[in-house]
Structure 1
Amino acid sequence: MRPFSAIAGSGVFLIAAPGVVAGLVPWLLSDHWGLPWSTVPGFVLAGGILIVVAAAVLLHAFARFALEGLGTPAPIAPTEKLVIGGVYRHVRNPMYVAVLSIILGQALLFSSWTLLAYAAIGAIAMGSFVRFYEEPTLASRYGADYETYRRNVPGWLPRLTPWRD
């Protein structure tokens, strides 16, 4: 896939998937972000920081797919190369971690049990998708390279030091 097509496709998928999961649904669940902000000390600041940092990680991960992998995160237009650079050197699923962090940031911002429950349901759905679809698909597509990557990089909680071959 050409870089422009990969960037355009990734941009569309960014809006269609994380935009809906971490944006539209929480917006609807929080009365169009009209809930009062949390009165718990530190929750608003922590939630805001979590949202901003997670959004930056999400954008970085999408850029890696387009520029390093020459493809998109969408299953219908996968990458030509296994993406292992940038944030992917520390965690195999940074997009899912970022999306869940954005939702959790909103749960903190509004002290919303509804958004917390939504994040928990999302974590189960995302974990199941990774386990039963993504891992077998990546193993089939990239073979030994993916198995080496999988052995060296944790799936969900980032490692602070990058792996070496």
Structure 2
Amino acid sequence: MGADVRTRRRRAGLVSALFMAAGPGTVAGVVPYLLTRWERRDPVPGGVPAQVAGSVLVAIGGAAITSAFVRFVREGLGTPIPVAAPTELVVGGIYRHVRNPMYLALASAVLGQALLLGRARLLVYTGVMAVPVTAFVRLREEPALAAQFGEQYELYCENVPRWIPRRRPWEPPHRTVEP
């Protein structure tokens, strides 16, 4: 691996870490805190099973968003930020199952907090958040990726769903992708 690639990855990693704290940290951390002060309803609707499910969803969301950010740095040689976008289409790891794992991870973390805390307003927040995210993905993000990556992105879209993860990971035909 060349020094240029290592330098780009290092820089992308730093920028991604800062963005992760600012962007997803706000969406899945600061806003839920402001809406709930992380105060649990007593008793939590659904009791302990709901809290366990909520904890699992928060953990899955955190792991998935971290994995997606790392994938952008390692495979895409860029960041999730449009001004420092990847130069390679990211189709490995969690992206082999679903095209938008970051948004799903954020929704998972917020829904998990809703269950953990027993706070319906976080369910409403997730629903409200889904509207502009869906519009952004369909109207801005997908056309930009299609323009940048052409047939490679078209093939990816034909094989990997936008929102509902596929059970088996997609295997790109002409590219070695780390699992």
Name the TM tier (shorter chain): over 0.9
Structure 1 CA distance, aligned partners of 2:46 and 2:23? 31
Verify: 1:100 aligned to 2:107, yes or no: yes
Structure 2 CA distance, aligned partners of 1:40 and 1:163? 36
Aligned to 2:155: 148
Aligned to 2:18: 12
Q: Which runs of 5+ in 1 are unaligned?
A: none
Verify: 1:73 aligned to 2:80, yes or no: yes
Structure 1 CA distance, aligned partners of 2:58 and 2:170? 27
Aligned to 1:87: 94
Give the drift of 1:92.
0.2
Aligned to 2:28: 22
Give the drift of 1:35.
3.1
Give the drift of 1:116.
0.4
Match of 1:52 among 40, 56, 59: 59
RMSD (Å), alpha carbons: 1.2
Give the drift of 1:76.
1.0
Q: Secondary structure at the match of 2:77?
A: coil
Segment drifting more, 124-133 vs 82-91? 124-133
Contact 2:16 2:69 (C-alpha < 8 Å) held by counterparts: yes
Q: TM-score by structure 1 length?
A: 0.96
Instruction: Write out per-residue CA displacement over residues 40-97 of structure 1, whole angstroms, 9 at most, x where no aligned residue.
Output: 2311000001100110011000000011100000111100100000000000000000
Q: Which runs of 5+ in 2 are unaligned?
A: 1-6, 174-179
Structure 2 CA distance, aligned partners of 1:26 and 1:107? 9
Structure 1 CA distance, aligned partners of 2:45 and 2:136? 36
Q: Which has the larger radius of gyration?
A: 2
Match of 1:36 among 41, 49, 69: 41
Contact 2:41 2:119 (C-alpha < 8 Å) held by counterparts: no
Task: Count how many residue pairs are aligned between Structure 1 and Structure 2.
Answer: 164
Q: TM-score by structure 2 length?
A: 0.88
Give the drift of 1:39.
4.4
Verify: 1:136 aligned to 2:132, yes or no: no
Give the drift of 1:110.
1.5
Q: Which runs of 4+ in 1 moved over 3 A?
A: none
